[in-house]
Amino acid sequence: MKHIPKIAVVGPESTGKSTMSDYLAAHYHTIAVPEYSREYCAALTEPCTWQDEINMFQGQLALEASLLPKANHVLICDTTFLTVKIWSEHMFGQAPQEVLDELPKHPYDFYLLLDIDLPWQDDPLRNFPELREHFMAVWHKELTALQARYVVISGIDTNRYENAVKVIDDFLTAD
């Protein structure tokens, strides 16, 4: 089977990841893997538990695996299960071992780390408007630890999308 490059769109809350992922999927005539945890958390009636984090990790992996065969030359991923590691460490002080074990086994070819230069948008599933700089630093640390290829995407409105398309085009033509 031909290798389909996986491009992950990641970053702190309220940086436009879902909108960017949908835009990029349309631009590249492919499919975007949605953020599994968004729908999962929307259905919760109690605060998120350790088991919920594991369920979100497993759900994100399964969703990505099910959509990869439908991708057209590139797969756009609206976040990755690295988010489970980051949130688990923030909420519970540690990440599930199975998440840590799987991280090096599920690499992404390229990451777009969306900058916190967009205004905060309230959403019932967003919790930490005052910690955006903290989580931006965490994302840099995590991507560096994975030795991931990534670029920070900044800009407002169409400029943000144009910046993302340019770096993806450069990435796809370089490989």
What is the pLDDT, as a whole number, of residue 9? 98
Q: Is 153 in a helix, a strand, or coil?
A: strand
Q: State the residue range of the domain holding 130.
A: 6-174
Residue 79 lies in a domain: yes
Taking the C-alpha atoms of residue 142 and residue 157, their distance in angstroms, rounded to an integer, is 27
Q: What pLDDT, in 10s, does the model give residues 60-72?
A: 999 999 999 999 9
Q: Tell me, what CATH number does 33's domain have?
A: 3.40.50.300
| 1 within domain boundaries | no
- Can you give the pLDDT at residue 125? 55
Query: For tokens 């599920």, what's the residue?
Result: 106
Residue 126 above 80 pLDDT? Answer: no
Quote the tokens at residue 19: 């909108």
**Residue 122 falls inside a structural domain:** yes
> Is this model's pTM higher than 0.85 or not?
yes
In a domain, 49, yes or no: yes
Q: What's the rounded Cα separation, in Å, for the pair 154 and 133?
A: 14
When divided into structural domains, the chain yields a total of 1
Inform me whether the pLDDT recorded for 38 exceeds 90.
no
Domain-embedded: residue 11: yes
Determine the Cα–Cα distance for residues 35 and 14; give it in Å rounded to an integer: 13
